[in-house]
Amino acid sequence: MSFDPIVQKSISEQVAQRLLTMIRSGLLKPDQQLPPERELAAMLGVGRPAVREAIRGLALLGLLRIRQGEGTFVSSLETRELLEPLEMIIDLNPGTLESLFDARLIIETGVAALAATHIEDAELDRLARNVEDEARLLSDPAAFAAADVEFHEAIIEACNNPFLQSIAGSLYMLGKKSRSITSRIPATLERSLQDHRQILDALKARDPQKASEAMRHHLMRVRDAYRSAGRNRNESVHD
């Protein structure tokens, strides 16, 4: 019989864990400034290098913000800000977008089905106005992309499930890398508009199965457009 040795955490890891616990418990609040490094080290009874390393690690996770000349602050802790490290991973490894599409196909189709059973008339009106805006914005990819975000966010909110709202919202925001590529393709915008109309019709009918199928169809077409754009880029490089 053998036993693995007990591995003690480094001082910097312990400092990071202490700060993380304080953020979770609310002792450190969003946008709150931390004491200076020297003071924080004295308060925790550790050296400044350990504090500096812990702060850098939490900053990479998006939990802290280091502002030159001002100090270190707790981040806003909003979802979009906390997703920045994952967005960097996607930027460095575009292949992870395929996995992201797979996750969205599982989560967002279920969200659409659930939204069909919970959506209210006011939310349907909001989606209808959003689709009308998209129809006017086909010649403006950046504005269309913003309207696209609003459309999907409205459906996510309509599912009325806080856990799914958090997961689906995070996955959708991480997909902005692919949208920055596909939104430059006019035909893709037109197809997205058609898809959004079909999703809206299914939601109006309060039909979970049709809403799920319409969302799946939309996401698969977007993924196909992204793949096609990637192949075209590769071919132009090798020409």
Rounded Cα gap, residues 9 and 12, in angstroms? 8
Residues 91 and 187 in one domain: yes
Rounded Cα gap, residues 227 and 81, in angstroms? 28
Q: Which of 76, 100, 132 is the last residue of a domain?
A: 76
| pLDDT at position 231 over 80 | no
Contact of 108 with 195, CB cutoff 8 Å:
no
Q: Which of 54, 76, 98 is the last residue of a domain?
A: 76
Task: Give the CATH number of the domain where residue 144 resides.
Answer: 1.20.120.530
Q: Which of 24, 42, 76 is the last residue of a domain?
A: 76
At 196-216, the pLDDT tens digits run 999 999 999 999 999 999 999
Residues 63 and 180 in one domain: no
The total of structural domains in the chain comes to 2
Residue 119: give the domain boundaries.
82-238
Residues 97 and 199 in one domain: yes
- In a domain? residue 4: no
Residues 128 and 52 in one domain: no
For the chain, percent of residues with pLDDT exceeding 90: 49
pTM above 0.75, yes or no: no
Rounded Cα gap, residues 176 and 195, in angstroms? 18
State both tokens at 218.
């939309």
At 118-139, the pLDDT tens digits run 999 999 999 999 999 999 999 8
Task: Give the CATH number of the domain where residue 69 resides.
Answer: 1.10.10.10
Residues 132 and 228 in one domain: yes
Residues 162 and 213 in one domain: yes
Using a 10 angstrom Cβ sphere, with 0-12 exposed, 13-18 middle and 19 or more buried, the burial of residue 96 is: middle
| pLDDT at position 38 over 90 | yes
Place of tokens 């080290």: 41
